[in-house]
Structure 1
Amino acid sequence: MSGTPPFVSVVVPTHRRREMLLRLVASLRAQDYPADRYEILVVHNAPDDGTAAAMTGLVAEGGLPALAYHPKNFSSPTPSRQFGAGIARGDVVAFIDDDCEASPGWIAAGVAAMAEGVGVVQGRTLPRSDQPRRFLEKTVCVTGPTPYFETCNIFYRRDAFAGVGGFSDAFMERFWGEDTDLGWKVTGAGWGRAFAPEALVRHEVFRQSFLAWHKEALNLRVWPLLVKMRPEIRRELYGRYFVSRQSAAFALGVAGLAGGALVHPVLLAAMLPYPVVRVVETGRYRNPAAIAARVLLGLPRAALIFGALAYGSVIHRRLVL
């Protein structure tokens, strides 16, 4: 996009996060993008937690960029994003979440990557550097292009978003998978994609309970539906049928356990790759004790993931494990 900077509409869904939202809005109002070339649209699933009064006050202050607040009674963030995109005036619709903070050059970098033919640009997302990392936590880290098209930091050309009808109805009441589906719809319609490392967003690092960490695994049951709706996603899967190398190793272990019990004990050897893969894929962990604890504590979660994927595979008649 060249010439006059395109007008950008930043859409923010929010729910019960008043202080985080105010921090985000402050970062959005401090962008180094021309103030008359973007707007901020906050769509609030509106409980009475002080967000309404705070946002009403900010809107009343006026000034640029334009800030608008829309309280709604939606059941998930997806309808809020769809509503915001529907009233957006921008040539580009940018999505960011209320638990994030945008770097000053976020909008400019996202727009700069929107070359001709590009319909979607992912930005770089990192955990907040001023918050401690936790053994069990919830945050987002995106350091390169992903097949998930995370809506915590993404830009869509308006024509591309509108051309595919925005978010799919099948995901309006779901809390996972709607962003992945949208990204693949846009690229499937012939639009290109890009990644903008300078479009940096910092994400909150939440403490997560052991129970919540396991319950979160159940969200993966939507993967077979995603593959059913967007068959091209299969090329991003491990071996075309597994969401990751870890899930493939766990499925092999389940098969080995069943085979060892029903056929011959030697088949129990198929259980060995899973702990090996988990140890090799340590992520940010380096301490051997932490790695061992993560592997052991992760076994119930891996079983839940396997069960959720198997359930989804049966319901949606698409095998993804």
Structure 2
Amino acid sequence: MNHQSIDTTTATKFLPMVSVVVPIYNAEADLSALIACLSAQTYPKDRVEYLLVDNNSSDRTLTLLQEAAASSVIKISALSENQIQSSYAARNTGIRAATGEIIAFTDADCHPQPQWLESLIQPFVNSEVVIVAGEITALPGNTLLEEYAELQDILSQKHTLAHPFCAYGQTANLAIRRTALEKVGLFRPYLTTGGDADICWRILQQNLGRLEFAPQATVQHRHRTTLKELASQWRRYGRSNRYLHELHGIELMPELNLAEYGHRLGRWMFKELPKNTVKAIAGKASLVDLLNTPLTVFVIQARISGQKNAKLPENAKIIAWL
């Protein structure tokens, strides 16, 4: 009995200093929810600092951050990155001000659950672990596109952890040991997408340690609600493909030709749609089941166009250092 209690205390004694870095751009609508989520963390308040970095917002974001820093029950620092318009440059500003041995990342439009930080930090008890990725789930949504994204599990880290080139975690829910950043450098400040994969791969390729997945460390994220936002999200994924192809040599996504589009949509119209319509009448399928294929073709097309039209800027190759 006594032996067991010793084990649990040793397990819970692992409480390194943690710095949570959040880049913020024009997010006055999201700030109060974000700060409420950070304030509700179960990780001991005296072992964590929150570095919220305004990236040249044109709304009241910076003022609200400064007010929160002055009045919050948790330790908030309101910082700004006005030189470079990029979430990675803003993250670097946060990292440079950080005092923790573990740097954790999330985004302004995310809702970290109360156990998030505690679960995200636990795997670092093993000194071989240098990166931990937590899970990203959807905030409850009821529009067709939110339901589609939910069905596809678009945001889940399982996609990035299974990347054919090398596993990585998205910065919406990621933690990195500070010593790894000292060795490989920070984010590429002029990169506008793909920086999470890039930094994880640089760390893993130098064999500094391994990446661990912490499924209990959950962050909720809002899905896109309009076709315009959905297309823009997938074009960004396409640009990310192109940039990572240039930086790391990953394979590009193959383009679909007209015959393949025709085949997919034909199969949908004559096979899937009638079958799912019958199911829908019986109450066993929803609108999102009926429109799944055309939406998938739509996002594939957006991703391919993003990949095709992107060109990695020369300065995006620059790596910043601590």
Q: Deviations over 1:91-129 (max 9, x none)?
A: 100010000011111111111112221111000010112
SS at match of 2:100: coil
Residue 222 of structure 1 deviates from its aligned partner by: 4.0
Q: CA separation in 1, counterparts of 2:132 and 2:227?
A: 33
Of 129, 134, 141, which residue of structure 1 is paired with 2:155? 141
SS at match of 1:135: helix
**Is the contact made by 1:126 and 1:143 (CA closer than 8 Å) also made in structure 2?**
no
Of 164, 167, 170, which residue of structure 1 is paired with 2:187? 167
Q: Deviations over 1:253-283 (max 9, x none)?
A: 53xx6xxxxxxxxxx6897479769x99xxx
Of 194, 204, 207, which residue of structure 1 is paired with 2:212? 194
Of 39, 46, 57, which residue of structure 1 is paired with 2:49? 39
SS at match of 1:113: helix
Q: CA separation in 1, counterparts of 2:168 and 2:179?
A: 21
- TM-score normalised according to structure 1 size: 0.74
RMSD: 3.4
Change (3 A) 1:304 1:48: closer
SS at match of 1:195: strand
Equivalences for residues 96-107 of structure 1 within 5 A: 96-107=106-117
Residue identity matched to 2:136: T
Q: Which stretch has the larger CA shift, 131-140 or 286-295?
A: 131-140
Q: CA separation in 2, counterparts of 1:57 and 1:112?
A: 32
Q: CA separation in 1, counterparts of 2:252 and 2:265?
A: 14
Aligned residues between the structures = 276
Change (3 A) 1:6 1:308: same
Q: CA separation in 2, counterparts of 1:181 and 1:101?
A: 24
**Equivalent residue for 1:291?**
292
Q: CA separation in 2, counterparts of 1:300 and 1:99?
A: 26
Residue 133 of structure 1 deviates from its aligned partner by: 4.3
**Is the contact made by 2:30 and 2:109 (CA closer than 8 Å) also made in structure 1?**
yes
Using the aligned pairs only, state the percent identity. 23
Gaps of 5+ in 2: 1-9, 273-284, 313-322
Change (3 A) 1:272 1:49: closer
Residue identity matched to 2:248: R
**Equivalent residue for 2:202?**
185
**Is the contact made by 1:7 and 1:38 (CA closer than 8 Å) also made in structure 2?**
yes
Of 33, 39, 43, which residue of structure 2 is paired with 1:29? 39
**Equivalent residue for 2:81?**
72
Change (3 A) 1:154 1:298: closer
SS at match of 1:94: strand
Q: CA separation in 2, counterparts of 1:306 and 1:274?
A: 22
Residue identity matched to 1:7: M
Q: Deviations over 1:152-179 (max 9, x none)?
A: 10000111122111113xxx23321111
Residue identity matched to 1:194: E
Q: CA separation in 1, counterparts of 2:101 and 2:186?
A: 14
- Is the aligned partner of 1:205 residue 2:208? no
Residue identity matched to 2:41: Q
Q: Which has the higher contact order (CA 8 A, sep 6+)?
A: 2
Of 215, 237, 245, which residue of structure 2 is paired with 1:227? 245
